[in-house]
Structures are given as C-alpha cells and as structure tokens.
Amino acid sequence: MNFSDPISILKGVGEQREKVLNQNGIISIEDLLYYFPRRYLDRTSITPIKEFQKGQLVTSVAKVETFGERRIRKGKMFQVIVSDGSGLLTLSWFNSISYIKKKFAIGIKLAIHGKVDWYNGFSMTHPEIDFLEEEDNPLKTGEIIPLYPLTNELRASGIEQRFLRRIVKEVLSHFEKYQDYFSESFLKEYKFISLDKALQQIHFSQDGEKLKDAIRRLKFDEHFFLQLLLVYKKNKFQFNKAKPLTDIGPYFKTISSRLQFELTDSQKRVVKEIHSDLKKRSQMNRLVQGDVGCGKTIVAILAASIAVGNNSQVAIMAPTEILARQHYHSFKKHFEQINIPCGLLIGNMKKTERIPILKGLINGKIPVIIGTHALIQDDVDFKSLGFVIIDEQHRFGVNQRALLVKKGINPHFLAMTATPIPRTLSITYHGDMGISIIDEMPLNRIPIKTKVVQPKRMKKVYDFIKKECSAGRQCMIVFPLVEESEKLDLVAAIEAHVVLSKSVFSNLEVGLVHGRMKSEEKDFVIDRFAKNKINILVSTTVIEVGIDIPNATVMLIENAERFGLTQLHQLRGRVGRGTYQSYCILVRRNITDTSGKRLKILEETNNGFKVADEDLRLRGPGEFFGIRQSGFFQFKIANLITDGDIIQTARGIAISLIERDPFLEQEKNNLIKKVFFKTYSSKLEDLRIS
C-alpha cells in the first residue's frame, strides 16, 4: 500500500463511497491519513450534564430518552431529550434537518458539542452531534476516540465515524514507518516527534500528551511549508535586478524641510528602511503598516521624491476614486513646491483628459501618476517606471498588482495598509515582504471618544450632532452595505437621507453619497462636504478610505453590529483629523451578548492593533481581510490565530534554510523540496524557479 494509491483499494469503499469521498477531498491513501479528526472524546474532554453552566462550550456523551417534532410560529422545531445519568439536556433544531431526523432512536448514544443555554432546564440549539456505537465510550474504555468531520453527503452514503475509524486503522496497520523529510537531529533539536508517530497518534492516541505532540508536529509542518513558500518568494525579489535609487536627492530635502509639522520617530525610521531598500541593486518589496491617521501618506510622498530625484517615474494605485483623488491632492500639494507635475488617471475620464496623461507618461514629462485600476489598462505605458506604490493593497488581487509592476523593469514596490495586522498573521499573509510599522500617532491628534448607544437614545444623539454643527463642525452618518443585502441597505441609506434632511436636521444641509452614484456626482458631494457647504454627510461604506476632512468631528455608524471591528475602526478614523475633540457613535440595533462584547472593544481602545487582534480572533483571517481568498489559509490542522509560537519557529527555520540553500538544491533537502513543490506548485509558477 502506497501513499498515492486510490482509496478504492480499501475494504468497504465501493464506487459510490469512493465518489463521495473524492468529492470531500479524500482521493488517495495519503488524503485519508491527512483527514484529521476535528475533535476527540476522552475522559478529560467530557463534561457531565449536572456540571453545565450557561454560556459554556462543552462536549458531552448521552443517550436519547425521547424525541419529536412540533410546529412553532415560524415553521417546525425538532427536539431531542438526552440523559447521561447526571441530568437531562434538551437539543433543538429549527426547520430542515431531514438528513438527521431519521437517525434518532430511543437509547441511541450521542456525542454532543455546543453552547449551553437554560430554558426550563439545560438546552442547546443546533449543537454538533455524532452518533456513537456502544463501545465508543471513553469513560468505560479509557480510549481517546477520534471524531471526524462529516458532511451531509458523507452521512447519506453511509460513511459514519465507525467506518472512517475502521479504514484509517486499516491504512495505519500497513505502514510501519513513513519517510520523514526532517532529519533525526533536527527533530531532536526542536523536540518534534517523527512523522510516522505523528500520523499514528493524531488518529489513535494512547494518551493526551502524545496527542499534543502529534498535533504540534503536524501544525508545524503546515506552517513550515507555507513560510518556506513566502521566504522563497521574498528571496526571488533579491535576485530581481532593479535600478538602485542611491541619492536621497534635492527633492526629498526640499519637501521634508518645508513640512509644517515634525515627523514622528516611527515615520523617520520607516523612511530610512525604505531608502535602505531603494539603494540596493535588488527589487524592493516592502509593506508599510500603520493605524488610521498615523501619517503613511507623507512617508509615501517622501519615498516618491527619492525616486523622482533619481530620474524614475512613480505610480501610486488606490482602490477607489475617492482615495485616488485624495492622494492626488496630497502629492500635488508637495510636488508643486519642486515644480514636479503629478497626474491623475481614473476610470470614465474624458478622452480629451486621458490622452495628454498617457502621452506624459510615455515621454516622461509626468514623473508621478496617481490612479485607480485605470493604471493597469493596456494603453498605459511608462518611459521609466521605477517605483510602484499601492495603497490598501489587500483590496487588489495579486494579478492586478503584478500588472502594474510589469509596466516597468523590476520597479521597486511599496504597499501600504491602514489595517493593523497582528504579527503572526502579518508574517504569514505578508511574509514575502519586508514589513515597516508606523506605531506612533502625530503629536497633535486628540484621541477619539467612542460610545455604543441603543436606538432609544437617538434623540439625544441627534441633539448632540446639532450642537456640533452649530459650532461649525461637521458629521458623517454611515449605513452598512454588504453584498448579501446591498439593495436593501442602499434603500435604507437613501430613505434615511430623506428623513434626516426633511425632519431631524431640516435646518442643516444634509448630503448623500453611495457607491451606485456616478463618479462626478460623488466628487461633487464630497467636494461640497470638504468646503463645509454640507453639514452632515449620509453615506454607505464608500467613505471608509480616502476622506480627510479635519473639520468633521462626529462619526455616527448605524447598525454597527453588522460591521467587522477593523472596518469600524477604519470608519472611526475618518474623524479626529483636526484640532477639535471628535466622537464615534456606534448604534447597536441588534441587541445580543456577542454584539455588545464586540462593540465594547471599540469603546475601550483606539489602538488599531488591539482592535485587529480581537477582530481576527472573532472572525478568522478570510473575513478579517474582507476577502474570499480563504484558500490561502485552508490548513488541515494549523491555526493562524492560536499558533503564534509555532509560526515564529517555522518562519525562523524557513529563513535559515533558504539562506543556506536558496533554491533547495542540496541533496539533504531533496525530500523537503519534493513536498514543497508538490504542495505549492501552482503558487510557484510565476517564480521561474526550477
């Protein structure tokens, strides 16, 4: 039996079961061995019902006493009452669970996992359950029993826990030792168990400590090969020859000397780190990470002035027209001092405006261009593009970023993000880049006061807004806009604008901006708001980035519980940019324990990194970035949120390995190279490394 053998060679895996297993990613014997249990039953993990506490997440083993279905106001509810001898527990499911109802019988044993509630006794709603055999009782046998992930399709084809345990045991019995890609000395140094022991123990462990050792080893493997990919990619940039931008140049000195404020120590340090990279003959690949309002834009302007001073063109790409225009005005303000023209290139520009810009880029008369996705269109060419800056880079796809870089010959690359990212996630998501962090706020920034309010307090909130406006200040009111309910959300924002402008704030000028408006309409409204001709701006999240109105002091966010914490923090950063005390008011309309705890975090801190830590913990990496590219993070056992120490270790070892053997050519690394290329071949295609 070999790792590559199809699972159809196993007893009991017929054509139908093979098809369903294949659909769930189990195609070969190796896939089966790496189909890890999602949970284990052992003496230490099981909580007796009598010891339950409301709100506790528990695992229990109990027998079915009775079950049935009854009609409720909004459909049907299926309930099961179970007992473990210490107490009773009611399990409830609403509406469609037809695949599971047929499985129940009085006396059948269940493993139950869920959150404890209390409703005339202990209860759980939509718990996770597994049907157990009589011998699956760790309280009697003392064994650690694996529970595998089971989809509806697997269950429907007769693939249950007992079947999976049997075929995994069959495979394990045919393998005495697996070839490890790490040496014995390496395993000893880092206190890892061998791969064969890890695969044995992850499925059928003799005790909890051995299971922990197996989990640690297999987590490390996943983190190590991903970190190896990122270090490998980072190393590629060092082999890409780029024009060294050695001279700090006269433009940098002029702009920096005329600043009306003192750069923070963080900003000075990051500028030095960027210039250190630019001076090299290899391509820079760096990320500047900093909280909302920390001053990343002036760092980008100073870095761009170094490039222009070395006769290189600079392209700055932003995800929205609003942000692109904001950057354009900022860059233009500083570069006009040194008589360097800046251009703006966005979608839907008139031909008469666009053609002169394109000509200026080709002949080099426009050294600095700011734009949106319009910069990556086929007809945009440069004379000497040497520096690319991308703001909020996670809003662009990898291919979009690459298209702009390819318009030059290995131009230096700088990304910026106002989304503070926890370190363990940062070295994974951005592990192929050098990372610079601006961790100070400008000295003149007054901390924003944040308050969560319930709808019944809206009259007081509106009175407060009127008071701020009467003092000459301005306010933004933001409504959620999410893909699943975009039309309804848009209607809510538009209707709210009508109500607020005609009744609540009838004596004030109330504007409206949303993503469905034409660019010219949005620009017109925002320009009027910037000139204080609009007192209150009602908006969807289109203003999340790119709005810089120092006079705005109140950010009111409706249905705040529908936003991620990081997005709320970004929106909060649209105020507090002037010399006045600013406020962020979060209206919580869906009153739940979870929404209350989440929003309280924003009341307690203005620190974006603390907010990001909580957001990552609550939502996971894919949602944290507001993206669907979760495939990057689809580990079988590793966890980016909880595996900080393992990630750091894996990162260090990957860096050390690539430093010693940049292309994994040494014979002793053959097995690592084989697994590495097998795992990440699709992500290595663009590296041109054999």
Q: Cβ neighbours of residue 323 under 8 Å, at least 6 residues apart?
A: 391, 392, 545, 546
Q: What is the mean pLDDT of residues 609-625?
A: 70
| DSSP bridge partners of 92 | 79, 125
Q: What is the mean pLDDT of residues 145-161?
A: 86
pLDDT at 438 over 50: yes
Q: How many CA atoms lie within 13 A of 529 on its CB side?
A: 27
Whole-angstrom Cα distance, residue 297 to residue 369? Answer: 15
Amino acid at 440: E
- Start-to-end CA distance of the chain, whole Å, equals 30
Which residue, 58, 110, 57, is CA-closest to 81? 110
Confidence grade of residue 331 (pLDDT, cut at 50, 70, 90):
very high
Q: How many helices (H) and strands (E) does the chain have?
A: 25, 22
What's the pLDDT score for residue 630?
A: 39
Q: Which two tokens stand for residue 161?
A: 């826990």
Confidence grade of residue 428 (pLDDT, cut at 50, 70, 90):
confident
Q: What is the mean pLDDT of residues 15-37?
A: 93
Q: Cβ neighbours of residue 565 under 8 Å, at least 6 residues apart?
A: 598, 601, 602, 611, 612, 614, 615, 618
Confidence grade of residue 99 (pLDDT, cut at 50, 70, 90):
low
pLDDT digits (tens, 9 = 90+) for 631-675: 445 789 998 878 889 999 999 999 999 999 988 889 889 999 988
Contact 53, 30 (CB under 8 A): no
pTM over 0.85: no
Q: What is the mean pLDDT of residues 294-303?
A: 94
| Range with the poorest average pLDDT among 203-207, 480-484, 570-574 | 480-484
| Range with the poorest average pLDDT among 350-354, 386-390, 485-489 | 485-489
Whole-angstrom Cα distance, residue 221 to residue 671? Answer: 13
Whole-angstrom Cα distance, residue 683 to residue 232? Answer: 11
Confidence grade of residue 627 (pLDDT, cut at 50, 70, 90):
very low
Q: Cβ neighbours of residue 306 under 8 Å, at least 6 residues apart?
A: 245, 247, 248, 249, 251, 252, 274, 275, 278
pLDDT digits (tens, 9 = 90+) for 467-496: 999 999 999 999 886 444 555 666 778 888
Place of tokens 């979870």: 594
Going from the C-alpha of 27 to that of each of 16, 33, 630, 675, the distances in angstroms are 13, 11, 22, 18
Whole-angstrom Cα distance, residue 626 to residue 612? Answer: 13
pLDDT at 304 over 90: yes
| DSSP bridge partners of 110 | 62, 131
Rg (CA), the chain: 29
Place of tokens 């920390």: 294
Contact 544, 417 (CB under 8 A): no
What string of DSSP letters covers 453-514?
A: E-GGGHHHHHHHHHHHHHTT-EEEEE----GGGHHHHHHHHHHHHHHIIIIITTTS-EEEE-
What's the pLDDT score for residue 631?
A: 43
What phi-psi label fits residue 267: left (phi over 0), alpha (psi between -120 and 50 degrees) or beta? Answer: alpha
- Sequence-ordered strand ranges (E) for 353-456: 368-371, 385-391, 412-417, 434-438, 449-453
pLDDT digits (tens, 9 = 90+) for 216-273: 999 999 999 989 988 888 877 777 788 888 888 889 999 999 998 899 999 999 999 9
Q: Which residues of 247-272 are buried (b: 16+ CB within 10 A; e: fewer)?
A: ebbebbeebbeeeeeebbebbebbbe
Whole-angstrom Cα distance, residue 341 to residue 313? Answer: 11
Higher pLDDT, 418 or 686: 418
Full set of structural domains in the chain with CATH: 39-147 (2.40.50.140), 180-239+643-690 (no CATH), 249-438 (3.40.50.300), 449-605 (3.40.50.300)
| DSSP bridge partners of 554 | 475, 583
What's the pLDDT score for residue 616?
A: 73
Mapping DSSP to helix (H, G, I), strand (E, B) and coil, where does residue 622 land? helix
What's the pLDDT score for residue 371?
A: 95
User: To the nearest whole number, what is the mean pLDDT of the chain?
Assistant: 87
